[in-house]
Amino acid sequence: MKAFTYHSPTNEQAAVRLLGAGAVPLAGGSSLLNLLKERVLEPERVVNLKAIPGLAGIEAAGEGLRIGANVTLAALLENAEVRRAYPALVQAAETVGTPQIRNVATVGGNLCAPPACWYYTHEGFPCPRKGADHACPAKAGENEYHAIFATDGPCVAVHASSLAPALVALGARLRVVGPGGAREVEVEKFFRLPRAGEHRENVLAADEIVTHVTLGPARPRSATYAVLHKESHDWPVGLASVSLQMDGDTARAARVCLGAVAPVPWRAPGAEAAFPPVRPPPERGGWGFTTAGMGRLKSTVGPSPAFTTNFMLPPCSLRVSCSSWILVAKSSASRTLRSRTDRTTYCSARPMAWSGPSPTPTRMAPSFTSE
């Protein structure tokens, strides 16, 4: 690790004065320390944000909630109001790493986390994202966990944050502070696709930090489903968050956002448009009927062209055809298969069509079940 000076400012403005070229903010350190140790990042200054008061609380804000950037994922999961009002966020946070990681990992650090790419986090591989004048090694290399959308840019790493798709689906906003003061950014507009010569994953300037996440009115009919190889200590292969806009007991619209499929959280407007106004079937007792798997989603994607998927959105269950879920499940299978058989063309392959009717499968997709 290269030597750096360590700073621990106690207010936002002092922090942004210390940031800028040659400096990085530090929160829980669960991502950043690895990059420092691997010499992927070699800053002159590391600016600890955890000593700034006011960034570690969860408080009411209008009809919603304001979550400080320094709130740990463990604290987020323990908050009764977050659990009641935003299950999609809770289910996303539950998938992150392990209890030890969630004890230190923060909401702000998660949103600003570096790309999930094994070439990026290894000091031995120069790549465009690290500013090297070198082709992306993932494009011709091991890329089964890389992007399947927006693959025409210089970098095909998927965005690493599991919370981001949930926050996009929930329509959350960020408070960002820089030398000129504070500004608000929709989470959906916070991330940006890789472009030649630019290495940032989001719209933050080098001397700006995220201080808070603001959530609007409660969205209890929301959920996140992640496909993981392991139950814990793993990154999602694919992830989808859904939030329903309710009108009484009728779901009028849905916001759907996918994770781990593109360099940014990937909104799925085709899936949203396919979502009809839905009322619960009266014979099932309305929205109140629940199933054993409440709180999680069960997705079974089989060879049937119908591709129906069970959404279990507590405390309701909807059966809908949703191409986004097909995508998640299919991609986790086909990415592995394709990358094994045809690595060199995989990343330049066109994204799968998913906004129209359910596609006919070209190969048998596996079943993913999660309770």
Ligand X SMILES: Cc1cc2nc3c(=O)[nH]c(=O)nc-3n(C[C@H](O)[C@H](O)[C@H](O)COP(=O)(O)OP(=O)(O)OC[C@H]3O[C@@H](n4cnc5c(N)ncnc54)[C@H](O)[C@@H]3O)c2cc1C
- Establish if 115 lies at the interface with ligand X (CB under 6 A): no
State the CB neighbour count (10 A cutoff) for residue 107.
29
User: Which range binds ligand SF4 by CB under 6 A, 57-65, 126-134, 182-190, 246-254?
Assistant: 126-134
138 binds, among ligand SF4, ligand X, none (CB under 5 to 8 A by kind): ligand SF4
DSSP notation for 322-342: -HHHHHHHHHHHHHHHHHHH-
Q: 126: which 2 tokens?
A: 């120069």
Nearer to ligand SF4, 145 or 225 (CB): 145
* Secondary element (H or E) of residue 273: helix 269-273
What is the total count of residues that contact ligand SF4 (CB under 6 A)? Answer: 14
Among 76, 96, 107, 136, binds ligand SF4 (CB under 6 A): 136
| Collapsed DSSP state (helix, strand, coil) of residue 182 | strand
Name every residue whose Cβ is closer than 8 Å to that of residue 365 and which is 6 or more positions away in sequence.
Answer: 301, 302, 303, 326, 329, 330, 333, 334
- Establish if 120 lies at the interface with ligand SF4 (CB under 6 A): yes
CA distance linking residue 61 with residue 313, whole number of Å? 25
137 binds, among ligand SF4, ligand X, none (CB under 5 to 8 A by kind): ligand SF4
State the CB neighbour count (10 A cutoff) for residue 321.
16
User: Which range binds ligand SF4 by CB under 6 A, 60-68, 129-137, 217-225, 277-285?
Assistant: 129-137
DSSP notation for 52-83: STTSS-EEEETTEEEEETT-BHHHHHH-HHHH
155 binds, among ligand X, ligand SF4, none (CB under 5 to 8 A by kind): ligand SF4
- Establish if 137 lies at the interface with ligand X (CB under 6 A): no
- Establish if 209 lies at the interface with ligand X (CB under 6 A): yes
What is the total count of residues that contact ligand X (CB under 6 A)? Answer: 33
Among 128, 220, 259, 265, binds ligand SF4 (CB under 6 A): 128
Among 19, 58, 92, 157, binds ligand SF4 (CB under 6 A): 157
CA distance linking residue 333 with residue 328, whole number of Å? 9
> What are the strands of the beta sheet with 209-215, ordered from one edge?
58-61, 64-68, 209-215, 173-178, 181-186
244 binds, among ligand SF4, ligand X, none (CB under 5 to 8 A by kind): none
- Establish if 96 lies at the interface with ligand X (CB under 6 A): yes
Confirm if 269 and 261 have CB atoms less than 8 A apart. Answer: no
- Establish if 261 lies at the interface with ligand SF4 (CB under 6 A): no
329 binds, among ligand X, ligand SF4, none (CB under 5 to 8 A by kind): none
C-alpha dihedral sign at 317, 318, 321, 327: negative
Nearer to ligand SF4, 117 or 170 (CB): 117
- Establish if 115 lies at the interface with ligand SF4 (CB under 6 A): yes
Q: What is the closest distance, in whole angstroms, from the C-beta atom of residue 276 to ligand X in the complex?
A: 32
Among 161, 222, 309, 334, binds ligand X (CB under 6 A): 161
Window 21-80: residues binding ligand X (CB under 6 A): 24-32, 49, 69
Q: 226: which 2 tokens?
A: 């992640």
Closest CA relative to residue 322, chosen from 272, 250, 251, 259: 272
Among 36, 157, 210, 271, binds ligand X (CB under 6 A): 210
- Establish if 97 lies at the interface with ligand X (CB under 6 A): yes
Peptide bond into 351 cis (omega under 30): no
The DSSP letter of residue 93 is: H
User: Which range binds ligand SF4 by CB under 6 A, 57-65, 82-90, 112-120, 279-287?
Assistant: 112-120
Alpha-carbon separation of residue 254 from 322, 344, 357 (angstroms): 11, 36, 17
Residues that bind ligand X (CB under 6 A): 24-32, 49, 69, 95-97, 101, 104-106, 108-110, 112-114, 160-162, 204, 209-210, 233, 235-236
Residues that bind ligand SF4 (CB under 6 A): 115, 117, 119-120, 127-129, 136-138, 146, 155-157
